[in-house]
């Protein structure tokens, strides 16, 4: 194909292929510049993740259940959190959340 630079978007099983391409690039086995790699629905080793502080608390064996109860207390809290990633121009968020 003659590509010199790429952005890789991989989903599910394709993430294994993308990780193999990245490994080969890191070992200088392919002459390719990877600008960005985006892995969706992929398995990954936890020590390589950059997780939020809240996720760290939820992952904690002792605190996780307690934190989950504190933060999972209302529809309004859930709606506030999901609104940060939701595009209201596409759908009616109240309708969608009530039908989950």
Q: What is the pLDDT along the chain (100 residues), one digit of tens a residue?
A: 788 899 999 998 888 899 899 999 999 999 989 999 888 887 666 666 667 787 788 888 888 888 777 766 666 666 666 666 666 665 566 655 565 5
Please tell me the pTM assigned to this model: 0.45
* Predicted local distance difference test score (pLDDT) of residue 88: 60
Task: Return the bridge partners of 11, or none.
Answer: 40
The total of other beta-carbon atoms located within 10 Å of residue 15's CB is: 20
| Cβ-contact 9, 36 below 8 angstroms | no
* In contact, 24 and 12? CB cutoff 8 Å: no
Instruction: Evaluate whether 97 touches 79 at the Cβ level (below 8 Å).
Output: yes
């Amino acid at each position: 194909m003659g590509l010199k630079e790429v952005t890789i978007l991989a989903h599910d099983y394709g993430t294994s292929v993308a990780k193999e391409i990245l490994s080969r690039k890191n070992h200088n086995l392919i002459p390719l510049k990877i600008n960005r790699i985006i892995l969706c629905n992929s398995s990954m080793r936890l020590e390589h993740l950059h997780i939020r502080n809240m996720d760290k608390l939820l992952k904690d064996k002792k605190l996780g259940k307690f934190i989950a109860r504190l933060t999972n207390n209302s529809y309004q809290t859930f709606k506030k959190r999901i609104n940060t990633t939701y595009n209201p121009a596409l759908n009616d968020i109240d309708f969608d959340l009530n039908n989950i």
